[in-house]
Every structure is written in C-alpha cells, then in structure tokens.
Amino acid sequence: MRVDATVFSVLLLAGHAVAADSGTVRFEFDVQGIAIEFDDDRPLFELHLALEQKDPDEKQLAPKDFAKVDRAENKDRLTITWGEPPAPWPKDLRVTATLTRLKREIEARLRIDNPGPLPVTRVRFPIIAVRPTYHYDTLLLSHPMGDAMYYPKRVIGARMGGEAVYRYPATLAMQYMVLFNQGRSYYLSAYSTGDETFEHSAKTIRRGLRLSCVWYPFLEKGEWQSPTVGSACCPADGTQQPTSIATAWGRSSSPRRCPNGCARASMAGAKCP
C-alpha cells in the first residue's frame, strides 16, 4: 500500500493521534495497546479473478500491486483510491476504500470501478490479521452447530484445511464474527440490509489468524460497492463481556451490550450506533 505520507492514525476512545509509518493505516484502541493495521503484509482487501484459490486461472490483486495511490482525509474519514494495476488487469480499474472512525469501531466500504473485460469475481474485504493468537482464544459465530469454536487456530489448521468459511445467510444466522479471550476481542461484522450473500473467513497465518468478509460481485464491467462493514477491538471486562455475545444475539430475550458498546444487540441487518 504505497502511500506518500503518514496515512490515517487515530487512538480511538482516548482522543489523540499516534504516529504511523508511511504506507500504514493504523487504528489503535484503548485495549492493552492493541491495534488494527493495514499495510503491504496485512492488506485491506484482495481482488480475485476465480471463485476458488486453487483454480489454474486464479489471479489476485492487493493494494501493494497498484502503481498509483491517492488519499484524502476529512476529520475522522479517510478515502484511499488505488489505480493502474499490473497486467492482465485492466489499466483503468480503480478501487476506493472509505474508512470512518466512529466512537468505538471502524466503519468501512469498498467501491470497485471495472472497465472490463477481466471480471472481478471474488473480493476479500476487510481483512484483519490477528497476531498473535493463543490456545485459549475462542472464535464466535452464529452457527446452528454451535456458537463457539475453541482453540480456533489449531482446529482450523488441523481439521479444516487452514481456512474456516461460513456463509450468510445460508450457514450463519447473524452477520458478525468475534475472536476473543479473557483479555480482548476482535470484532468483525457486515451491516448489510440487502440480499447479497457473503462469507466470513478465518484463515490460519503464521502465529495467528486472518479474519475477513468474502464477497462475490461477479463484476465484469461497471461499478460495485460493498455493504458497510464494521471492525473493532473491544475490552473483555464486565460491561462488554465477549462470552455474552452469543446470548445477546442468539438466545436471550433481554440482550446485553454488544461488542461495540451499544445498549442493544446488533441483529442481522441492523447497524450499531
């Protein structure tokens, strides 16, 4: 992600800025110094030509592959536009990400302008790299076979081929995914009110997991814009206890606070304030 100057670096909840290296988008949270970062090694998005990673025609495009990057900042909002991708991608293909700092989360949207003829079939956005993960972590999803996956890195690596994929609304009842332990929780959710299908993915990486939303725009020519997505790092204290998320979003008639600190549960299609 080649950006000429320090990009967008804010300390959520504490109200002051922190420094970031050139080319890094960094959001720090008031949770044990934990941050969500996007850079060349932790890309914000990936574009794919094929439906499957093992497809012989598969081609992948990440922020670091673009030759041109423009950015614009307006208070708590950052807009980055990438252009001039390498061949065989269309030279005029453009990708624009809008990241907005809210009180307790990062809100993001992605727009793709594709002149054709090479299609953008699959999009990973956003991608959150969590390093390190621990053996006492739990991955929480609203899955009918159970809400919690214990030892997720070990289970996904040994039993699921290195990547766990859950589709909404087919497999998942809600649009959120949370990786948590007793010290912190990483929250990722789509706030889609449409009928577009997407997937939550948890993929093993060195010393951690990579959480992402996977979209299927099948964009041969024209414009596609993702639904709004939200991500955050939350404390695991008594007021925002991660273990209460399954109860709040799945089974309880009197929900507790959601991981964004809202006074209500965030149901599918409902946006946290």
Q: What is the mean pLDDT of residues 33-43?
A: 85
Q: Average of pLDDT values for 159-184?
A: 89
Least confident of 41-55, 74-88, 120-134: 41-55
pLDDT of residue 237: 54
Higher model confidence: residue 103 or residue 267? 103
pLDDT digits (tens, 9 = 90+) for 217-262: 999 999 999 999 999 888 765 344 333 333 333 332 233 344 454 4
d(Cα 219, Cα 120) in Å, to the nearest integer?
Answer: 5
Annotation: CATH topology of 9-251? Beta-galactosidase; Chain A, domain 5 (2.70.98)
Domain range summary for the chain, segments of one domain joined by + = 9-251
Q: What residues contact residue 47 under an 8 Å CB cut-off, 6+ apart?
A: 60, 61, 62, 95, 112, 120, 122, 123
Higher pLDDT, 95 or 4: 95
Question: CA-CA distance, 170 to 41, in Å (whole number)?
Answer: 31
Average the pLDDT over each of 26-35, 93-102, 182-191, 261-270 and give the range with the smallest value.
261-270
Q: Across all residues in the chain, what is the average pLDDT?
A: 78
- Report the helix count and the strand count for the chain, using DSSP H and E: 2, 19
Burial group, residue 133, by CB count within 10 angstroms (0-12, 13-18, 19+): buried
Token pair 């912190």: residue = 184
State the pLDDT at residue 104: 80
Determine the Cα–Cα distance for residues 229 and 193; give it in Å rounded to an integer.
Answer: 11
Check: CB of residue 244 under 8 Å from CB of residue 250: no
Tell me, rounded to whole angstroms, the distance of Cα 273 from its chain centroid: 18
Q: Which helix (H) or strand (E) holds 157?
A: helix 152-159
Tell me which amino acid residue 185 is. S
The token pair at 148 is: 């919690």
Reported pTM: 0.78
Question: Average pLDDT in the 7-22 region?
Answer: 35
Q: Which of 209, 31, 178, 43 is nearest to 104 (CA)?
A: 31
Q: For residue 227, what are the contacts with CB-CB under 8 A and spacing of at least 6?
A: 109, 190, 191, 192, 193, 194, 196, 198
CA distance 93 to 132: 35
56 — pLDDT class (breaks 50, 70, 90): low
